[in-house]
Structure 1
Amino acid sequence: MSTHPASGASSPPPPHSQSSVAMIARQAIVNAQNVVVGYELFNRSRSGAGHTAATDVILVFTALSHAGTEELVGKKLIFVNCTHESLTGGHLELVDPDKVVLEIPPLGHTAGAEVVARLPILAALRERGFHLAFNHTVLESAYAPWLPLADYIKLDLSVLAPDQLAVLISYAGRHSQAELIAEKVETAQQYDMVSSQGIDLFQGYWFARPALIEAKLLPASQASIVQLINLVRKQAATSDIEEVLKKDAGLAFNLMRLINSSGFGLNREITSFRQAVMLMGLKKLFRWAALLLTASRTSGTPSSVGHTAVVRGRLMELLALETLPPDEADLAFVAGIFSLLDVMLNMPMESALGLLSVPDEVSDALLRRKGFLGDLLTLAEACESSDDAVFDRAAGTLHLSSQQINFAHLQALAWADQLTD
């Protein structure tokens, strides 16, 4: 009989959702052929305490890194309502600006000099590649400095009379390059009226009501997030930052999900934490961690499921290092730390893996326990369950001794326990 450590290596609890859920409504914006060109997003979370500068960026961030059963926005444009305060935040650096349309609110009756004062901010955003949308007030003389920056102008059919609408459409066509969006389109008669006047984009109940989507984020330990922020501020080595990611399954998942989302704008899939850190860069990594801390609703203690995933990842990595170079052993860690995604996200593993970019050997291990990584995962699970028969079989297949496995397991447990020190 093998003597592998069981104390401190408890099996994960029964499956239940380990993720925090944000309720996001999306409403399609369609063209004349009824093809969706983008979605306007609305925060519908009960915990949302009104519209603040933070809610705008959290909404975009959640949309891009969420873990739902379907793509929330896919490759479509994201239309998001902004406050003027949120436009100066660095969090917008986290997304590919080409995917985001910032809906800029008017300044109210006291616009005056404020229109000119805010012009450099709006111009800088557009220069960076963001699209800007305004409502019909941008066609008023007070907002003339903003009009050349408009990519989209939204015309609200619930507040504009038909004769007003005709005048605004004509004026916009002569004085701007903006595409016009008719919003609050609720009847066929309204659609016929605006389409006959040259409007090509539409939003409203006639096309689609806002659909409510559960957008999930895996909770990350606040202690891990703070540690990451401190390392980034000190410009620590990539290897030190990578270590923090490897100790928190939620943190690792959210980063890999975001950096591989269409909104991040990369042309290739990123499959390792080191790649993610190097490609994101310290500045963006800091912004991302700060936003994640803002959005966090969890305590500073990692969940038992997340802890088990970290132990698995480290154990598999240590055992892989017995025969593989470090770069290849990193895949063993990735397979281990993501081996409980189905539990953490409360969805089948195949669906969970669909949210990430992982190499085929990792996918084979997680879905079918195939290959070298599959054997390592089977062995790691046997260490948790004290299943001697499975342990012996897997150890024999991998040509590992009980002593090697026991020592690596104890090392992995101690390494993971540093989270709570």
Structure 2
Amino acid sequence: MKKQLARGSRKRYLAERVETEDEFRSAREAGFRFFQGYFFSKPEIIKQRYVSPKHIVAMQLFQEVCKPHVDFVRVEQLVAKDVALSYKLLCFVNSITERIEVPISSFRQALVYLGQDRLKIFVSLAVASYISNHKPKELYNLSLQRAQFCQLTATRRKFDEHKDQAFLIGLFSVLDAMLDISLDVIVEQLPLTESVKEALNKRLGPFGELLNLEECFEKADWQGVQDYCELLGLSYEDVARDLNEAQRWSQETSSLV
């Protein structure tokens, strides 16, 4: 098997159902390039109830992008406080945005070029990448995958109530693993509605069930995926397409930064 997975091989293999750090290390040593499993969404043993000082600006940015009407002057001020974060954001904008004739070199230029809705997503992506840089890259990939899957699925009427926050709901669902702080502590620091908090903390409501569906996919629990499709009234074929597209997009996006 290890010979088949030799790093020189042109084939790339996906290791499914990675549940522990030992399994992750063994699979990586064996030559697997892609990984999927519940291990990546598990926080380490929680030892703190507050965000560490190095992540305060990141949390302040998350607080801003969660608001219905984002104050982009405030966002620009926060981004300017951290050179590394500012650089990462501009890298995102220039790498992912198509058909840029002139490189974007400032936050204000990015706002004019992208518009508020798209820039809000770019800020969220950059902040998530920034706070997860000490974690396995697969965790960041997973956050992107969940975010994109929620956004793709939110076009259905059942998800109308919070469709504008679908991307953030998916992204925030792994913040506990990124920050090693209980998710209920994190969401209390963010200006989210009670129903969004319940979706994240208790997996209640349509988006809570959608996150459960995504987690079944991560565990390769195909019966669970089928059951949640039926519960949500979604076509299994449509969901499978969205899941595969979200996985492709997350891998492509994370490779750019």
TM-score (normalizing by structure 1): 0.38
Query: Which whole-Å deviations, capped at 9, do the CAs of 1:274-310 have from their partners, x for residues lacking one?
Result: xxxxxxxxxxxxxxxxxx9xxx9959x9832222111
Equivalence for 1:236: 113
SS of the aligned residue for 1:352 comes to: helix
AA partner of residue 188 (structure 2) = G
Equivalent pairs counted in the alignment come to 191
SS of the aligned residue for 1:321 comes to: coil
AA partner of residue 120 (structure 2) = E
Task: Give the structure with higher Rg (CA).
Answer: 1
Equivalence for 2:19: none
Distance 2:53 2:90 in 1: 19
Query: Which whole-Å deviations, capped at 9, do the CAs of 1:374-415 have from their partners, x for residues lacking one?
Result: 111111111111112321221111111221111101211222
Distance 1:222 1:398 in 2: 40
Is contact 2:92–2:126 with CA below 8 Å preserved after alignment?
Answer: no
Query: Which whole-Å deviations, capped at 9, do the CAs of 1:318-339 have from their partners, x for residues lacking one?
Result: 1121225878322222211100
AA partner of residue 192 (structure 2) = V
| % identical equivalent positions | 20
Residues 255-266 of structure 1: pairs in structure 2 closer than 5 A: none
Task: Pick from 196, 215, 219 the counterpart of residue 362 of structure 1.
Answer: 196
SS of the aligned residue for 1:307 comes to: helix
Q: 1:221 to 1:316 in 2, by over 3 A?
A: farther
Equivalence for 1:309: 143
Equivalence for 2:128: 250
Task: Pick from 388, 397, 413 the counterpart of residue 222 of structure 2.
Answer: 388
AA partner of residue 128 (structure 2) = G
Q: 1:414 to 1:249 in 2, by over 3 A?
A: farther
Structure number with higher helix proportion: 2
Residues 367-378 of structure 1: pairs in structure 2 closer than 5 A: 367-378=201-212
Task: Pick from 36, 51, 60 the counterpart of residue 10 of structure 1.
Answer: 36
AA partner of residue 65 (structure 1) = Q
Query: Which whole-Å deviations, capped at 9, do the CAs of 1:27-49 have from their partners, x for residues lacking one?
Result: xxxxxxxxxxxxxxxxxxxxxxx
Residues 156-235 of structure 1: pairs in structure 2 closer than 5 A: 223-228=88-93, 230=105, 232=107, 233=109, 235=112
Is contact 2:209–2:232 with CA below 8 Å preserved after alignment?
Answer: yes
Query: Which whole-Å deviations, capped at 9, do the CAs of 1:221-244 have from their partners, x for residues lacking one?
Result: 954443346373353131442342
Is contact 2:58–2:127 with CA below 8 Å preserved after alignment?
Answer: no
Equivalence for 2:60: 65
SS of the aligned residue for 1:356 comes to: coil
Distance 1:313 1:419 in 2: 13
TM-score (normalizing by structure 2): 0.59
**Pairwise CA distance, 1:342:** 1.3
Residues 11-160 of structure 1: pairs in structure 2 closer than 5 A: 11=37, 12-13=39-40, 14-16=42-44, 21-22=52-53, 62=57, 65=60, 94=77
Distance 2:249 2:152 in 1: 11
Establish whether residue 404 from structure 1 lines up as the match of residue 250 from structure 2: no
Is contact 2:229–2:236 with CA below 8 Å preserved after alignment?
Answer: yes
Is contact 1:313–1:336 with CA below 8 Å preserved after alignment?
Answer: yes
Distance 1:16 1:220 in 2: 24
Establish whether residue 352 from structure 1 lines up as the match of residue 190 from structure 2: no
SS of the aligned residue for 1:357 comes to: coil
Query: Which whole-Å deviations, capped at 9, do the CAs of 1:125-151 have from their partners, x for residues lacking one?
Result: xxxxxxxxxxxxxxxxxxxxxxxxxxx
CA RMSD across the alignment: 4.2
Is contact 2:150–2:167 with CA below 8 Å preserved after alignment?
Answer: yes
**Pairwise CA distance, 1:66:** 9.4
Structure number with higher strand proportion: 1
